Amino acid sequence: MANGRDGIRIVLINGSARPGNYTGKALALVANEFEKQDGVSVEVLEPGRMGLALPGLEGGGEGARVLQEAVSGATAVVLATPEYHGMFSSVIKLAIENMGFPSTLRGKPVALLGVAAGTIGAVKSLEALRSVVSHVGALALPLSVSVANVQQVFDPDGKCLDPAVEKHIRRVATGVMDYVHGYICPAVTLERVLREGLAAV
């Protein structure tokens, strides 16, 4: 588990491959919120640019290795996806397929963030993604964050135009940190005490 002595490591995965995509703009706010925390390091991965293999083909080359190592060493993971035709993106599915078997997501707390052009947001895609994440053994955190009418939320430079929506998006990070501090850090501390004695803390 990547915390304790090594600090808290968060991996954010962008499920869009479009230049200037809104998913990345929303994810940047989440990354910024994490970066405000002491002892937290953030890594953003763009699987659409990593040359990952299609399901059923052997290996994923260097991209799969980098993805698996990053996720394996993470304290928690954020998966962000646009909604396409009522479903999460093929980029996110490809990333999950390249995380190995058993998946490097197994046992990891995973927060979900979705953006959509429509008025109901990415609710349908996030529910489907939650099912896949749970299937591979990850711990899908409650209260996924969905952003509706996303084209109206950000300006071309990535600034969020609605303070309430920005607060909603940043809640992805605060939710993860609440889980990490509430469940992971105490467990790691207890493990160290049992292994090394009280001097460990």
Domain residue limits, the chain: 4-200
What are the φ/ψ torsions at residue 158 (nearest 5 degrees)? Answer: 90, 5
pLDDT at position 8 over 80: yes
Q: Confidence band (pLDDT; 50, 70, 90) for 55? A: confident
**pLDDT tens by residue, 29-47:** 999 999 999 999 999 999 9
SS (H, E, C) the chain: CCCHHHCEEEEEEECCCCCCCHHHHHHHHHHHHHHCCCCEEEEEECHHHCCCCCCCCCCCHHHHHHHHHHHHCCCEEEEEEEEECCEECHHHHHHHHCCCCCCCCCCCEEEEEEECCCCCCCHHHHHHHHHHHHHCCCEECCCCEEECCHHHCECCCCCECCHHHHHHHHHHHHHHHHHHHHHHHHHHHHHHHHHHCHHHC
pLDDT at 184: 79
Alpha carbons 90 and 28: distance in angstroms, whole number: 21
pLDDT at residue 185, rounded to an integer = 73
4-200 belongs to CATH 3.50.50.60: no
CA distances from 140 to 1, 35, 95, 153 (A): 17, 22, 16, 26
Picking from 112, 128, 130, 123, the residue whose alpha carbon sits closest to that of residue 148 is: 123
* Residue of higher predicted confidence among 5 and 10: 10
Q: Is the pLDDT at 70 greater than 50, yes or no?
A: yes
What would the pLDDT profile of 111-161 be if each residue is shown by its tens digit? 999 999 999 999 999 999 999 999 999 999 999 999 999 999 999 999 999
177-194 pLDDT per residue, tens: 999 999 877 654 444 445
